[in-house]
Amino acid sequence: MIRWSCRATRRLLESHHDGELPMEARASIQNHLRQCPSCSGERHRLRQVGVELRAAVSDHAAG
């Protein structure tokens, strides 16, 4: 498995988050995320955008 730097991880983090990367790259990024609190925090913030946006849309639809 290739060892990923933070820079490489950040570049592909959004595609990874969206499930758009091939299996090998996905595994390498997951490995990096397990070891890097900074990148894993970035991933968490990316995830929160989707979570909060869906909640906002749902609230708006409910009135």
Partner 1 sequence: MNQARNQQRWWRRRRRSSQVSLDLHVSQHGDPVGEAQMAPDRLFARKELGRRLWAALEGLPFDQRSVVALREIDGLSYEEIAFSLGVTLGTVKSRLTRARQALRSVLQEATP
Residues that bind partner 1 (CB under 8 A): 14-15, 18-20, 45-46, 48-50, 52-57, 59-60
Which of 44, 39, 43, 36 lies closest to 14, judged by CA? 43
Q: How far is the CB of 9 from partner 1 (least distance, A)?
A: 15
C-alpha distances (whole Å) from 17 to each of 5, 59, 63 are 17, 24, 30
Which C-beta is closer to partner 1: that of 26 or that of 31? 26
Collapsed DSSP state (helix, strand, coil) of residue 55? helix
Which C-beta is closer to partner 1: that of 34 or that of 54? 54
Which C-beta is closer to partner 1: that of 3 or that of 58? 58
